[in-house]
Chain A
Amino acid sequence: MSLIAEDIRVFYGKRAALRGVSLTALPGEVTAIVGPNGSGKSTLLGAITASLPYQGAVSLNGQDVSAMKPWQLAAQRAVLPQASHLAFPFKVIEVVRLGLQSGTAGDRPEVPVQALARVGLAHYADRTFQELSGGEAQRVMLARVLAQVWAPVENGQPRWLLLDEPVSSLDIAHQLQVMDIARGFARAGGGVIAVMHDLNLTALYADRVALLATGKRMAFGRPHEVLTDEILSDAYGCALRVSAPPPAGIPFVLPHAASA
């Protein structure tokens, strides 16, 4: 019962964007994918979600993804894209209901309202999606994704949240809110894979970290194993120093040290 990507290779024309990357994500954990720009983070998530052609194998809860129908996949995992455009003036609640249509909570009309409340936007239900700010739109899309896999565990099987830079356009309070939601989903038995830019949020919330650079996996493990001076400086190509505040021992990356 896990999400396993094996030896994933992706080519954009002749250029290799991913050169044989493997990843195992476990339910109950937040697995973060980090790395510099162009390292293949979003490409890896794109392969895992079958959004782009890839070589290699992906299995979800023991089933080969390539053999599953779109609606079977939709019942087991929801995907939050990096940017969302909406073509027509749907209302916020209607957007969230689109997630409900495909999930297995279709007969529970209260779920979209609860999902909006979860991201703190219940009072926005009747607004038109296009009126929202970038950050609000991103949270509405998160609510849609949550409504799709509302129960983190169903029929004894974990369900999955696959998030592509879920906090990219959010202020710090909402970054924490969204990461709390992701961690809560994992603690309730679901699985979360998130592409992350912010190393400190990663250190704070991830249970496991995959670090990519130039289309290869440089490191994979617990945050304190991956987020080290040596590994990060090598991957990002600049001097980075990782520190830890005394009480919790959670590592943090101090960019101020880069010029030192």
Chain B
Amino acid sequence: MTVVSDIAVAPRDRLNPARSLHWVLAVALGLACLVNLQVGATDATLSSVLAKLAQGETLSQIERVVLFDIRLPRLVMGVLVGAALAVSGAAMQGLFRNPLADPGIVGVGAGAGLGAILAIVLGALLPVWMIDRAGNHLVPFAAFLGGWGSTILLYRVSTRQGRTSVATMLLAGIALGALAGALSGILVYIADDRQLRDLTFWGLGSLAGASWAKGMSAAPLILLSLGTAMVLGRGLNGLALGEATAAHIGINVQRMKSTAILAVAGATGAAVAVSGGIGFIGIVVPHLLRLASGPDHRTLLLNSALLGATLLILADVIARVVIAPAELPIGIVTAVLGAPVFLWILLRRRGMVEL
């Protein structure tokens, strides 16, 4: 027998550093908010306004409008959408046990997109009183309905005898995405020029057009979904071992999965509804955090919310300044920054992607 020199060294802990990261990221988010309010196409900046207020001067009409009616609601919406996209990405990756899974992949995003395109192209066919009443809520509302409906359909298809097969769900998501894409393609043929421009901008994702009304229409659903996602940490950790083992270590797997699906659908639907298809936040943010502080979902979910919000409002700053006074759709910025990261993950995992 060999002598086992197995004197236990206290293993390095990653949970407490990951918890400290909550505070670091919260501070970063606060700073990013200040930057976001400061930068823009007009001279009305946060610092100039604060200086004026400090000297007891009153704000001009333009300053008030720019800061409180344009930039602030846009900031709030950016924070909510960024957190929603990153958390739904992290939760979905935990659910599918795959770091490349994203709400876009299982058709929730595509379903929401179809709903939005339907509203843009065929919305004019609705009775006038309906259009008047819906106003600019029509597209977001249709997008939310589309995402919600596709989630329910997906669940019906992939769940049998109370058990959801992750593989079936992924494949069904591909089919749903293809179907939604085809229907969207038909609608694009019908669309006129103005509608086509709307479609392009919506499809690329943008925070432009943010208003308090729009933000408030999405906020309750996003906050509810985020709160729900935060209790999933332990369950998703167990699920990393597989469904059977997760059950063996005492997790109510079916209930946990249903909760996760609801949280993901709610967050994604509401985010897509107000901002279109902003991609890659849901993949890049959790991945960076796993590299920084490990894959433990008990801290990953909250950290994702904070970092997702921070990155999205910084991307929004970039979108506003690169071609000022015009602005880029923010989806272009996140895609340019995020797609290479996605490919890098893929490259590193090429040999071991399991589907």
Contact = CB atoms under 8 A, between A and B. Distances in A.
Partners in one complex: yes
B234 to A, nearest CB: 6
A60 to B, nearest CB: 13
Interface stretch (A4-12, A82-90, A213-221): A82-90
A172 to B, nearest CB: 13
B250 to A, nearest CB: 3
Given A51-B248, A89-B290, 9 more contacts: A69-B252, A84-B241, A88-B295, A91-B294, A98-B237, A102-B238, A102-B250, A113-B8, A117-B8
B113 to A, nearest CB: 28
A94 interface: yes
The majority secondary structure among interface residues of chain B is: loop
Interface string B147-186: 0000000000000010000000000000000000000000
B20 interface: no
B97 interface: yes
Contact of B6 (A94, A98, A117): A117
Given A85-B354, A88-B240, A122-B7, A99 B295 contact: no
Contacts of A56: none
B14 A91 contact: yes
A62 interface: no
Q: How large is the interface on A (under 10, 10 to 19, 20 to 34, 35 or more residues)?
A: 35 or more
B70 to A, nearest CB: 41
A84 B8 CA distance: 25
Contact of A84 (B6, B242, B290): B242
Interface of B: 4, 6-12, 14, 94, 97-99, 161, 234, 237-242, 244-245, 247-253, 290, 294-296, 352, 354
A50 B294 CA distance: 31
Given A89-B295, A91-B294, A120-B6, A99 B249 contact: yes
Interface in A86-117: 86-91, 93-95, 98-99, 101-102, 113-114, 116-117
B295 A90 contact: yes
B250 A74 contact: yes
Contacts of B247: 50-51, 70
Contacts of B99: 87-88
A248 B258 CA distance: 56
A81 B245 CA distance: 7
Contacts of B9: 122-123, 125
Query: Closest 4 interchain pairs by CB?
Result: A74-B250, A88-B295, A87-B97, A125-B11
A91 B237 CA distance: 12
